Amino acid sequence: MEVSAFQELIERIYLTRDSKRGLAGTHMWFCEEVGELTRALRRGKRDELEGEFADVLAWLATLASIAGVDLEAAATRKYAAGCPRCTKTPCACH
């Protein structure tokens, strides 16, 4: 699935509800999901990791949508040429 298609899917599922919560409230939920991902990384259980990575990505997509950011376009602009700082792939920054 393309990033833009995923963002659109998350919008169809959650945007109405998440928009009512607002950017700040939705950001707090995103941070909570990052915490859950951190705990899953410590445990190292693959099935748990996959679920938490998916949740973090979904909340990130929701935040981007509420903020009016096309996540795929933003990522492409920033990283398509390699490292934003040195433009190398892999990064050669020290």
- What is the predicted pLDDT for the residue at 48? 95
Residues 6+ apart with CB under 8 A from 5: none
Reported as a single tens digit per residue, the pLDDT across 41-89 is 999 999 899 999 999 999 999 999 999 999 999 999 999 999 999 999 9
Q: How many domains does the chain have?
A: 1
Reported as a single tens digit per residue, the pLDDT across 30-40 is 999 999 999 99
- From CA 65, how far away is CA 77, in angstroms rounded? 17
Domain holding 69: CATH number?
A: 1.10.287.1080
User: Does 90 map to a domain?
Assistant: no
Rg for the chain (alpha carbons), in Å? 15
pTM of the full structure = 0.92
User: Does 12 map to a domain?
Assistant: yes
- What is the predicted pLDDT for the residue at 94? 84
Domain around 23: 3-79
User: Does 51 map to a domain?
Assistant: yes
Residue 44 per-residue DSSP state: T
User: Does 27 map to a domain?
Assistant: yes
